[in-house]
Structure 1
Amino acid sequence: MRPELNGSCVKSFSKHANQHNKALSVALKKLQSRLPGFKYSIVYYYHALANRIKNPTKYVGEVICCGSGLDNGRNCGGGSNGTQTYNLCSNRNDYVLFGGHHTQKTNQQLAQLFWSGAPNVIGPYNVKQFFEFV
């Protein structure tokens, strides 16, 4: 997310991430067909995090806990020289991000998705299913 783009993501980055994920999925499917017993998993991390950023109230509350400007997306800690005004939330667990980093609440949600999430989040197997193969 780039504040100077009014809270939207950089389209070229999003495009490249999606292209990479599609190519990786194709390559892993080919490997699976060639290697008996080969199992893999792809985490659709980009989409899981993007959903939280686009719909924060569905998951935690707000988007960014520390910063200024649109969605508090800039200058957490006062910018490079520490003199710019910024907002600091009282409870970071009500947010998806703290500055440019995931909050503990977001990390817990993502870890749960990786452990037992549905195929639209992690697939064809989640981490729990990998442990069941052993």
Structure 2
Amino acid sequence: MAGAAAKERRVIRVLLVEDEEIHRVRARALLRDAAGGVELGEAGNGAEAVRRVREGGAYDLILTDRQMPVMDGHEATRQIRALGVTTPIVGLSSDSLAADADAFIKAGADDFTPKPLSKEKLNRILAKFNLA
């Protein structure tokens, strides 16, 4: 019965913005296991994420790291919001002080989750934005 329920879930499109391979590998595995179906786009820095969105990438969720080369997650979030995109954006960072969360929210993110991403954290994010 659980398999049938998983098949009924819709496919969600997620953009993962992360420069470190270990975090991408973990997120891929968690997304594959947590959702009924995921189409995963990846960007290695904020500038690449903004380009993907600007070129018509439509996503149900954007997960973005804070500290990356070229463009950080805060600036990428600001630029994606400036494009008029209302997709939920969740900031991720190894730094988990309240100031880190506040900086993401001020940049336009909808939520913040400290790394490492876990099954529980991902399930909370998906539930919060009605994606699970």
Q: Please, what TM-score do these two structures have when normalized by structure 1?
A: 0.28
Larger Cα Rg: Structure 1 or Structure 2? 1
Structure with greater strand share of residues: 2
Q: Please, what TM-score do these two structures have when normalized by structure 2?
A: 0.28
